Structure formats: structure tokens, C-alpha cells
Amino acid sequence: MIAGAVLDTSVIVAFGRGSLDVMLLIDRFDMRAQPLVVPMTAMAEALTRLTAPHEAERALFLLEFGVVVGDGLGRDNVRSVATAGLEAKTETTLGMAHTAHAARERSWKILTGDRALWTAYPDFDAVGWAD
């Protein structure tokens, strides 16, 4: 199986705001049929940061790509996501904890727009979209 990546809130926000770099990155994953995971808590956090309705709609459009898999927060993973949050070395958000859990579960990298955020999780491989 081709390794994929997990998107964090910053990438979803950038996609919603129309970042050409992020759009091209998502397209590259799509063209190569490499899976991308979007934790739904990260999506929810992104939607609260996108103030224009068209930005929120664009962010939600991510879920329409065939290679994108939504990762919900439910009965089967809520404890593991909470544990991931507790393991953070600094204050974190539910979206970050969920992203960390999704990456750990799959042994995938986290795509981010701000690698400094991921210093709270030193055991994870967070890569910037421009890397």
C-alpha cells in the first residue's frame, strides 16, 4: 500500500483560503492515488477559523476527493485520541490530538503549515507542505 498522510488544521485552513500551494499538493496526492486522512475534529477547528462562507465550502470540498478519507471521533477511538492529547508536551487542541492519533494509527506523516506546532508531539513526523 502506498503511504499517505494526515492533514492537520493548518493545511485545511490554507486549502479553504485558496492556497495554490496546498491545492497543488492535494492534487498531487490525488493524481498518485495516495490516501489523505482528514480528522473531522481538525476539519471542525478549521471551519471555525474560516470566516467567509466560500472558504468553509472550499475546505469541505476536500472531503470530495477520492483519496481523502474522513476520520471521525467516535466510541471506537475517543479514548485513544484523548490519550494522544495527554501525551502532548505542551497545550494542545482536540484537533491536534486527533491528528496525532490518526498518524500514529497508520504510521503516516502529518502534513502541516506550521511544523512548530508539532513540537508538542516530538514522536511524530510533521512535514510542511512546501517541503
In a domain, 28, yes or no: yes
What's the number of domains the chain is made of? 1
In a domain, 130, yes or no: no
The pLDDT score that the predictor gives to residue 1 is 47
> What are the DSSP calls for 63-110, one per residue?
GGSTTEEEE---TTTHHHHHHHHHH-SS---HHHHHHHHHHHHHT-EE
Give the pLDDT band (50/70/90) at residue 130. low
In a domain, 29, yes or no: yes
What's the domain range around 63?
Answer: 5-125
Distances (CA, A) of 130 to 21, 53, 76, 107, 109: 7, 26, 34, 21, 14
What are the residues whose beta carbons fall under 8 Å from the beta carbon of 67, sequence distance 6 or more? 4, 29, 30, 33, 34, 35, 36
In a domain, 114, yes or no: yes
pTM here is: 0.90
In a domain, 38, yes or no: yes
CATH number for position 74: 3.40.50.1010
Give the pLDDT band (50/70/90) at residue 81. confident
In a domain, 46, yes or no: yes
> Which one is predicted more confidently, 115 or 44?
44
> Which one is predicted more confidently, 85 or 36?
36
In a domain, 131, yes or no: no
In a domain, 78, yes or no: yes
Contact of 111 with 10, CB cutoff 8 Å: no
